[in-house]
Amino acid sequence: MAIGMLQMMPGATQEQYERLGEKIFGSSSSEFSPSEAPDGLIMHSAGPTDDGWYVYDVWESEEHLQRFVQDRLMPAAQELGGPAPTPPQMFQIYNLIQVPGGPSTR
């Protein structure tokens, strides 16, 4: 079953988010191609808040999410340092509507 993940990165900036993307994928998130997506990722979004940066993902399963976090995200985040993310909120996706050819904001 698909799983949603919402995570706050208090005090994080767009620059830090971009550096993390570069560390994980070899390119910034604005240059990220869907063909480079980690196994199991259905949807990724991120953006600024008054207090830092939010990331909201939808994954095929919790196992896919955990594998990405352990194998790629955490090693890159630890190497770069910066604000520590809060523990993610996770929930089962009951309804997911995907609009073919929908807009992408980059």
Residues 36-64, buried b or exposed e (16+ Cβ, 10 A)?
eebebbbebebeeeeebbebebbbeeeeb
> CB under 8 Å to 55, separation ≥6 — which residues?
5, 6, 7, 9, 44, 45, 46, 85
31 compared with 74, residue with greater pLDDT? 74
**Residue 103 pLDDT:** 62
Per-residue pLDDT tens digits for 90-103? 999 999 988 887 66
Least confident span in 13-22, 25-34, 45-54, 93-102: 25-34
DSSP 84: P
31 compared with 43, residue with greater pLDDT? 43
Banded pLDDT at 30 (limits 50, 70, 90): low
Give the chain's domains with CATH numbers: 3-92 (3.30.70.100)
What global pTM score does this model have? 0.84
- Residue 94: CB atoms within 10 A of its CB come to 8
Per-residue pLDDT tens digits for 44-80? 999 999 999 999 999 999 999 999 999 998 898 889 9
* DSSP string over 85-97: PPPPEEEE-S---
